[in-house]
Structure 1
Amino acid sequence: MPSDARLLLLDRDEVQSLLLPDDVLEAVREAFVLHSHGEGRVFPVVREPLVTGGVFGIKSGDVQAQGLLGFKAAGFWPDNRRLGGAPHQATIMLIDPATGRPVCLLDGNAVTTMRTGAAGGLGLQQLARADSTSACVFGTGVQARVQLSFALRLLPALVEVRYATVDGQRDAAFEAQFAHRCDILPARDRNAAVSESDIVITATPGAGALFDTQAVQPGTHLNCVGADTKGKRELPEGLLERVRLFVDDQAQARQIGETQWAADMPCIELGDLLTGKARADRHPTDITVFDMTGLALQDLTVARLLHQRAGAAGVGSSIPWAW
């Protein structure tokens, strides 16, 4: 058997140095399009609680025509904060589909963060009202920051942001990151902030409803990120029955996303909007929701981009990997 194969390793800093928002946006768009055309497969998700208090998951898939195969092993370990680490942990592996040999192993934290932000941005482009000027963001962590960053990047009319923290306190660092791009202040009242916003972004651990159903006004669009496991939710009971629902993957959203709380609701996949298989035809008074559970294909298209870019730039550590 061949013994001269090599495995490329990309650590956190190397991955971050190679990630560019516009390139990630295009890679994520490609993932949605491949999914819509049935050219990219998404395999059943593993998402299981651990006795340690963490949640472990595997997302995997392939694009057979492109020779793209791999998985992301990831999850949420809340006790990591006490240890000085990030609670979300992810590792991505690309595999040669012809042989099963691993070709690239890379840190998946930054990939997960940015590809999810890019997916949220595409959702806003497709579903939010074009005249949207105000947003309410729930959460100020890594995912809330990237969601807002892509929102401001892709919606130039967005100028006013209100945010809500878990303890109701001001987050000076969060404000400082965006103060030069918008008018940003903490939300004094969550329901009032929602009712006064054109866009609502929920990026929390998904521990429960963040606001009341009646706070959501006609014409609002909501990007929902935090529900990614059975039992999680961010939206209040009864809201999904009032909205037009859009998802990244129907089966996955009904299993672990916000859609699990209204699994019989009709929904449209975002990829079908991008390929023209479906149309949003938003009316000014429609309430729209994009339930984001994260596609394995997004991780793979971005990881392939990084693998190619690292090879061209001579970035990463190449180690022997006999097979």
Structure 2
Amino acid sequence: MRNNDARLLMLDRDAVAALLQPDDVRAAVREAFALHAARSARVFPLVREELPGSAIFGIKSGDVPSQELLGFKAAGFWPGNREAGGEAHQATIMLIDPRTGRPLCVADGNAVTTARTAAAGAIGLQLLARADSEQLCVFGTGVQARGHVEYALHALPSLKRVRYVTSDGRQEPAFEARFARRCDIALAGAARTAAADAAVAASDVVITATPGREALFSADAVRAGTHINAVGADTQGKRELPAGLLERARVWADDLPQARRIGELQWGHELPAAELGELLAAPAVRAPGDITIFDMTGIALQDLTTVRMLYERALANNIGQNIAWPW
């Protein structure tokens, strides 16, 4: 291709939504875990900074040299967006040609982030949770919580009941309606209360998907055999899990250095832990009484493999805005 023939594919929110398919996202995320475990890919140093107005801005980037895959996601959390009826989480993902440095694709990353994170959580459930798990407790009812419950119900068909916990204990009818035909779903109560502890104690799987900075439940509420997907801790100073729980559990992370910096493992720097991708080749042997935790901070490779899939599908189906980008 001549320099003046270069093109840039723009995938906006609607184009991304038309292309995202759960099975394909799971496959892309699984590939990201495998590449990371084999050290066939690189995760570059994270940028994660607080901005005025309680906003958070970050950049996650990486590459897969053998596949000529390079790119980044610029993303963060802008809570003030909610006042205008917008989504607080914002993300934009770019694929770059590693041979030239020229952009290939710019994609709205909001739905991608939700889907790839939920897909990673589902893989964690398949690899770590008890296969006979029937009871799920989720903290949060936002975009991430909805995505994780959706993917969890697919990953663990044995799940029959979902209890959800909100920050203020208020019922969320829209959240319930989303899953009512697929499981028994009910409000458990408010976080950091006896009701939340009771919901955790009754559950086989716990998913924490909040922007919180303090423990959501008591460590003693977690019974033997429970698996936890910890999603919300993604910045220094944030946590969802109670003190003392990491010490009782077997812990896996998507990327250990990153998790020890911004995930739940920032509260247990010296504790033993491993990376989830290792389990793809050698599944963990789970004792019935094990408490397991997947510390999910999200890695760039998950974004890149997912958007590459969207990019290839969009080109094949003439979806998106393909514009000239000469140099």
| TM-score between the two structures when normalised by the length of structure 2 | 0.97
Are residues 1:254 and 2:260 paired? yes
**What amino acid does structure 1 have at the position aligned with 2:286?**
R
How far apart, in 2, do the equivalents of 1:33 and 1:262 lie? 26
Q: Which residue of 1 aligns with 2:94?
A: 93
Please state how far the C-alpha of 1:71 moved relative to its aligned partner: 0.2
Please state how far the C-alpha of 1:4 moved relative to its aligned partner: 2.1
How far apart, in 2, do the equivalents of 1:127 and 1:89 lie? 30
**What amino acid does structure 2 have at the position aligned with 1:233?**
R
Are residues 1:140 and 2:144 paired? no
How far apart, in 2, do the equivalents of 1:155 and 1:271 lie? 19
Unaligned runs of 5+ in 2: 190-194
Q: Which residue of 1 aligns with 2:169?
A: 168
CA RMSD of aligned residues (A): 0.9
The percentage of counterpart residues that share the same residue type is 64
Local SS of the residue matching 2:3: coil
How far apart, in 1, do the equivalents of 2:212 and 2:266 lie? 13
How far apart, in 2, do the equivalents of 1:67 and 1:282 lie? 37
Are residues 1:309 and 2:313 paired? yes
Q: Which residue of 1 aligns with 2:298?
A: 294
Kindly tell me the number of residue pairs found equivalent between the two proteins: 321
| TM-score between the two structures when normalised by the length of structure 1 | 0.98
Query: Which one of 305, 321, 324 corresponds to residue 320 of structure 1?
Result: 324
Please state how far the C-alpha of 1:319 moved relative to its aligned partner: 1.4
* 1:181-220 to 2 correspondences below 5 Å: 181-188=182-189, 189-220=195-226
Please state how far the C-alpha of 1:52 moved relative to its aligned partner: 3.3
Q: Deviations over 1:231-259 (max 9, x none)?
A: 00000111111100010000000011011
**What amino acid does structure 1 have at the position aligned with 2:257?**
A
User: Which consecutive aligned stretches of 4+ in structure 1 deviate over 6 angstroms post-superposition?
Assistant: none
Local SS of the residue matching 1:223: strand
**What amino acid does structure 1 have at the position aligned with 2:212?**
G
Q: Deviations over 1:280-315 (max 9, x none)?
A: 211000000000000100000000000000001100
Please state how far the C-alpha of 1:124 moved relative to its aligned partner: 0.2
Q: Deviations over 1:56-93 (max 9, x none)?
A: 00000000000000000000000000011100000000
* 1:1-323 to 2 correspondences below 5 Å: 2-188=3-189, 189-276=195-282, 279-323=283-327
User: Please, which moves more after superposition, 113-122 or 312-321?
Assistant: 312-321
Local SS of the residue matching 2:116: helix
Please state how far the C-alpha of 1:207 moved relative to its aligned partner: 2.2
How far apart, in 2, do the equivalents of 1:143 and 1:60 lie? 21
